[in-house]
Structure 1
């Protein structure tokens, strides 16, 4: 395993996990559009949890969504995927930190540490996929309503929270890919020590015989 690539992958994974934590409570997942409005008295912006409105005087009013079951299906799915993304990111960070060569956790068994780091890379990839699906699904509904001429409700535009989510997903996928590419289950320098070595003729030569210890048997003892 390359320590530099491991450190880079761990940094990318931590940064992506941190950005997921910033994107989830961000209030600007979608913001009401000014397109086609001559006079705008208030601006509405929402995320997965609350809906807020601000008027021309700068007063903000926010309210939580009243019912979980009353929400649209894509909002419920995006909530679940974002929470799963945070959980996967935690497991990925633990696997990356334990599996790194510079970490003393797990001893000096680099084969085992490489496997743990590879599992951490898989969790980072799962984190990135969950974030990418949740954010893209949410954005797809925004664009579908925006370009629908028959939609009579409030039309929204993509907010900054979605861009943070997309950036987090890309970083998580890059970090997981780096961990999987850097981890080798067995490096060329690791050699397995055997107690006995098989000679060319097929006989087994013991370590005591090769270390110079005299044998009790003569040459004619073997047939």
Structure 2
């Protein structure tokens, strides 16, 4: 695994997790539009939890949404996705710190550490997907109401909280992808290390040579030499 890529991916995942924590309580997920209004006396802005209004004197009044069951379905789903994103990011940071090569956590088993780092990358990817789905779904409803000519309520525009969420999702997806790529297997030469190499021609491994099989005409001590006549005469080769 590449240690530099691991550190960079973990930093991106941590930064994405921090930005999710900033985007979730941000009050400006949607801001009332001034398009088509001649006189604007107050500005309304909302997020997943509260609705606020600021008048022309700068005085703000906020109120929490009264009931969870009275909210729209997409707001409840966005809440669940954002909270899930924070939980997944927390687990991803822990897994990335344990799985990195530059840390001593998890022991010296680099195969196990690589798998843990890969799990951290997957958690970062899931965090980014949850955040992306949540903010995109919320923005889709804003645009649907804004461009609907028959919508009777207040029309809103996209606020800064959604842009922070999109940046967080992008960083989390990039960090998770980099962390997964850093855990890939190495080249075949790196995966298998040979402890024995076959000898090449002319290589001598020790001072004692292996015994050679006797050749024709070799005389061993204590044996007699017998001349065995050839089975074929010279005329057999003509």
Same fold judged by TM-score > 0.5? yes
Mapped pair 1:81 → 2:81: yes
Match of 1:111 in 2: 111
Match of 1:165 in 2: 165
State the distance in 1 between where 2:96 and 2:191 align.
Answer: 21
* 1:47 to partner: Cα distance: 0.1
Match of 1:58 in 2: 58
Normalising by structure 1, report the TM-score: 0.84
Match of 1:217 in 2: none
- The 3-state SS of whatever aligns with 1:70 is coil
Pairing 1:1-20 to 2, within 5 Å after superposition: 1-20=1-20
Pairing 1:40-55 to 2, within 5 Å after superposition: 40-55=40-55
* 1:46 to partner: Cα distance: 0.1
Report Cα offsets for 1:24-59 as digits up to 9, x if no partner.
000000000000000000000000000000000000
**2:33 touches 2:155 (CA, 8 Å); kept in 1?**
yes
* 1:191 to partner: Cα distance: 5.4
- The 3-state SS of whatever aligns with 1:53 is strand
Unpaired segments ≥5 residues, structure 1: 200-223
State the distance in 2 between where 1:23 and 1:193 align.
Answer: 53
Match of 1:214 in 2: none
State the distance in 2 between where 1:192 and 1:22 align.
Answer: 48
Count of residue correspondences: 196
Normalising by structure 2, report the TM-score: 0.79
Which one has a bigger Cα radius of gyration?
2
RMSD: 1.7
After superposing the two structures, state which structure 1 stretch, 181-190 or 139-148, moved more: 181-190
- Change in 2 beyond 3 A, CA 1:3/1:13: same
State the distance in 2 between where 1:100 and 1:126 align.
Answer: 19
- The 3-state SS of whatever aligns with 1:52 is strand
* 1:184 to partner: Cα distance: 2.9
Unpaired segments ≥5 residues, structure 2: 199-238
Report Cα offsets for 1:80-139 as digits up to 9, x if no partner.
000000000011101100000001001111110000000000000000000000000000
- The 3-state SS of whatever aligns with 2:54 is strand
**1:111 touches 1:185 (CA, 8 Å); kept in 2?**
no
Pairing 1:1-223 to 2, within 5 Å after superposition: 1-184=1-184, 189=190
- The 3-state SS of whatever aligns with 2:52 is strand
